[in-house]
Amino acid sequence: MTSRPQLFDFHGVSMIQCVTRNWENVQSFQARPDDILIVAYPKAGITWVSFILDLLYFGQSSPERQTSIPIYERVPFLEMAIPSVVSGTELADKLPTSPRLIKTHLPVQFVPKSFWEHNCRIVYIARNAKDNMVSFYHFDRMNLMEPEPGEWSSFFQRFLEGKMLYGSWYDHVNGWWKKKKTYSKLHYVLYEDMIEDTGREVEKLCSFLGLSPSAEEKRAITCRVQFDNMKKNKMTNYSTVPVMDFEVSPFMRKGKVGDWKNHFTVAQSEVFDEDYKKKMNDPTLQLRTEI
């Protein structure tokens, strides 16, 4: 069995080798003006939004793509670099599509400068920290390429301290929220809003992207991207990835708002809420832990 990767400090953010070993190529990545960068802290719903965008752009023109290419190849993971596997930057360079949809979990300060220079569209997804933490915990249990999660109580503590892959959740969502105030091509989506009304959020995405699919097409996409449908779909459920052990926990796990209540003790929730108030002091950013 391969050993789990270790976190280390990388310019002030906890990282693992798989996301830093190709750093020079990531930083010098040449974006194109029509590239769309899809960004989120891990486990905030990036696969969901990637699938929506892929369907909006290519669902009609190339339906075979939907049955033959897994979502992680259609939407390359920019900084991912596993030895003897094609890297995220290479995959992105070779993408035949226009626009190219590119995924990253990078905090805002690490985004390659070419995306800013070309004024690329960016979609950021944020999910409330409690559910995000729970989803991350189960992901780290099942994914051998992630650091060992340890017991829930120590994982909880580590999350509050920001010692997670990609660093502090608080810095990530705050950093991107702050960027939105000065960068107009950034659309900030909340996972909870998507759960509440997926169709409404698809509308908003279309308006941000300048797309005008028919009402029927939008209805069909909204249905196709529902949790149960994505969970059954081999091209979106990650069942083709060998390092993930679905017997421990499936990638498409619950897809709900409020699952944190099944994991947090009352005491943990109180500690969390106190700490949250100190770190999240911009009243314009409100994330719901229940809907």
* Active site residue ranges: 105
Please identify which residue in 47, 66, 89, 268 interacts with ligand PPS, judged by CB under 6 A.
47
The two three-digit tokens of residue 41, written as one number: 């802290």
Residue nearer to ligand PPS on the CB measure, 193 or 259: 259
Is residue 45 a contact point for ligand PPS (CB under 6 A)?
yes
Is residue 244 a contact point for ligand PPS (CB under 6 A)?
no
Q: Hunting for tokens 């249990």 — which residue is that?
A: 141
Is residue 208 a contact point for ligand PPS (CB under 6 A)?
no
Interface characters, 132-151, with ligand PPS (x: CB under 6 A): ---x--xx------------
Rounded-to-integer distance, Cα 277 and Cα 14, Å: 23
Question: In 10 A of CB 281, how many CB atoms?
Answer: 9
Q: How many residues does the chain have?
A: 291
Is residue 254 a contact point for ligand PPS (CB under 6 A)?
yes
| Window 212 to 231, contacts with ligand PPS (CB under 6 A) | 225-227, 230
Is residue 253 a contact point for ligand PPS (CB under 6 A)?
yes
262: burial class by Cβ within 10 Å (0-12, 13-18, 19+)?
A: exposed
Q: Whose CA is closest to 230, among 123, 35, 121, 70?
A: 70
Question: In 10 A of CB 149, how many CB atoms?
Answer: 19
Is residue 4 a contact point for ligand PPS (CB under 6 A)?
no
**Contact window for ligand PPS (CB under 6 A) among 20-28, 41-49, 90-98, 205-213:** 41-49
| Residues 223, 207 contacting (CB under 8 angstroms) | no
Is residue 130 a contact point for ligand PPS (CB under 6 A)?
no
Beta bridge partners of 40: 125
Q: Which residues bind ligand PPS (CB under 6 A)?
A: 40, 42-48, 131, 135, 138-139, 225-227, 230, 252-255, 259
